[in-house]
């Protein structure tokens, strides 16, 4: 093991797949963990165009920023933070509040009155983020974990996996596209009304922009998983596929599996945090909330989405659903009967990795 035995993990997901919740499994390790929440937000926030050239540049920027951060070097990311940090100090690091390390000593410096921060720490008052102190804190930790919904293609991470100083572990989170649609609708109002209307158009709907976006997202997720399932040598022992639904069904078990895969001990504080945060009835806790009633999440979408929309999603995302073990539904009676599971029992232990 290189780099003093430090473990490096990236949680790769799309929005609304439970990545914030899963990220907290690692963040709760606290003293042993340097955890970062969506640092690539600063990269993607710089670009509004999506030409092939910009996409290539973003992909390369993702690699540079992630590689730097896993080596506890914030300088590649500083180029993307706006306004640019002064003397490596910034007031605008995205979701600083979501990282225990960034809101704890020695990174938490005394707050100066009238200092405005876009994402201030909540549990204690901290001054602007000193990235030099953050780097020092990172180097003192046994583990570095980054959660991101910005990386869409698994092979973007190949240079990091092949870095002999990282021994990077990748955890990819996926979710039933039908459930994902409802969750995104509730959180971001993203095109759901248009999809509902398009579902009535039959064959013509597949040519509409909203449906093409849905299909494109499903295809990207599937392509990454298929690459991993093909067992390329560069990915051996470094990839784990996790379904949102399996986490919701038994979060303690899945948390222990993920931490074990990463080579990180499963501590009592992680178990305690999970038990305290899986019985929530709060329906207004926000897009990045880590509180949820786990037992109600899996089938909640089935009573909130009409059959024509379900069938449209199944049509354009069918291959993705089949790969991940999501069963199709053909009639409203089955759709509404939540005693009938739409989740196949499936194992995604690709390489039988043995951990040090």
Condensed to tens digits (0 to 9), the pLDDT of residues 133-172 reads: 999 999 999 999 999 999 999 999 999 999 999 999 999 9
Q: What is the pLDDT of residue 16?
A: 85
Distance CA 24, CA 20 (A): 6
Hey, where are the domains in the chain?
3-336
Distance CA 164, CA 160 (A): 9
The reply to whether the predicted model has a pTM over 0.85 is: yes
Condensed to tens digits (0 to 9), the pLDDT of residues 68-116 reads: 999 999 999 999 999 999 999 999 999 999 999 999 999 999 987 767 7
Pairing of strands 239-243, 143-148: unpaired
- Determine whether domain 3-336 maps to CATH 3.40.50.300: yes
- Cβ count within 10 A of residue 345: 7
Mean pLDDT of 337-354: 77
The larger pLDDT score, comparing residue 110 to residue 202, is at: 110
Mean pLDDT of 204-230: 83
Phi, psi angles (nearest 5°) of residue 63 = -60, -45
Mean pLDDT of 40-52: 73
Q: What is the pLDDT of residue 94?
A: 95
Average pLDDT taken over every residue of the chain: 86
Model confidence at 185: pLDDT above 80: no
Condensed to tens digits (0 to 9), the pLDDT of residues 275-305 reads: 999 875 554 444 444 455 555 678 988 988 8
Q: Is the peptide bond before 296 cis (omega within 30 degrees of 0)?
A: no
Q: What is the pLDDT of residue 354?
A: 41
Q: Tell me which residue of 166, 149, 39, 165 sits closest to 102, measured CA to CA.
A: 39
CA 117, 122, 128, 130: dihedral to nearest 10 degrees?
A: -140
Q: What is the pLDDT of residue 1?
A: 40
Cα dihedral sign, 280-35-23-354? negative
Instruction: Name the region of 145 (left: φ>0; alpha: ψ -120 to 50; beta: rest).
Output: beta
Tell me the DSSP string of 174-198.
E--HHHHHHHHHHHH--SHHHHHHH
The larger pLDDT score, comparing residue 236 to residue 5, is at: 236
């Amino acid at each position: 093991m290189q780099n003093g035995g430090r473990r490096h993990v990236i949680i790769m997901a799309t929005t609304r797949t439970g990545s914030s919740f899963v990220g907290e499994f690692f963040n709760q390790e606290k003293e042993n963990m340097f955890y970062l929440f969506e640092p690539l937000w600063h990269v993607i926030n710089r670009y509004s165009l999506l030409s092939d050239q910009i996409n290539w540049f973003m992909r390369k920027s993702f690699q540079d920023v992630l590689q730097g951060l896993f080596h506890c070097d914030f300088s590649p990311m500083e180029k993307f933070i706006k306004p640019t940090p002064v003397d490596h100090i910034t007031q605008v690091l995205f979701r600083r509040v979501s990282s225990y390390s960034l809101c704890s000593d020695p990174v938490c410096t005394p707050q100066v009155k009238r200092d405005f921060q876009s994402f201030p720490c909540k549990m204690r008052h901290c001054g602007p983020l000193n990235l030099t102190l953050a780097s020092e804190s990172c180097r003192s930790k046994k583990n570095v974990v980054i959660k991101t919904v910005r990386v869409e293609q698994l092979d973007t991470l190949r240079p990091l996996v092949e870095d002999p100083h990282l021994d990077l572990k990748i955890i990819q989170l996926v979710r039933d596209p039908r459930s994902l649609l409802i969750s995104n609708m509730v959180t971001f109002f993203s095109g759901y009304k248009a999809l509902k209307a398009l579902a009535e158009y039959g064959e013509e709907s597949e040519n509409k922009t909203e449906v093409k976006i849905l299909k494109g997202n499903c295809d990207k997720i599937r392509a990454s998983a298929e690459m991993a399932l093909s067992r390329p040598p560069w990915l051996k022992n470094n990839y784990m596929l996790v379904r949102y639904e399996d986490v919701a069904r038994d979060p303690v078990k899945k948390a222990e599996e993920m931490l074990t895969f990463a080579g990180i001990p499963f501590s009592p504080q992680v178990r305690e945090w999970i038990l305290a945060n899986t019985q929530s009835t709060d329906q207004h806790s926000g897009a990045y909330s880590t509180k949820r009633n786990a037992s109600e999440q899996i089938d909640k979408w089935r009573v909130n989405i009409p059959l024509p929309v379900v069938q449209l999603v199944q049509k354009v995302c069918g291959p993705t659903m089949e790969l991940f073990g999501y069963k199709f539904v053909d009639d409203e009676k089955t759709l509404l009967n939540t005693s009938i599971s739409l989740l196949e029992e499936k194992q995604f232990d690709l390489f039988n990795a043995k951990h040090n």
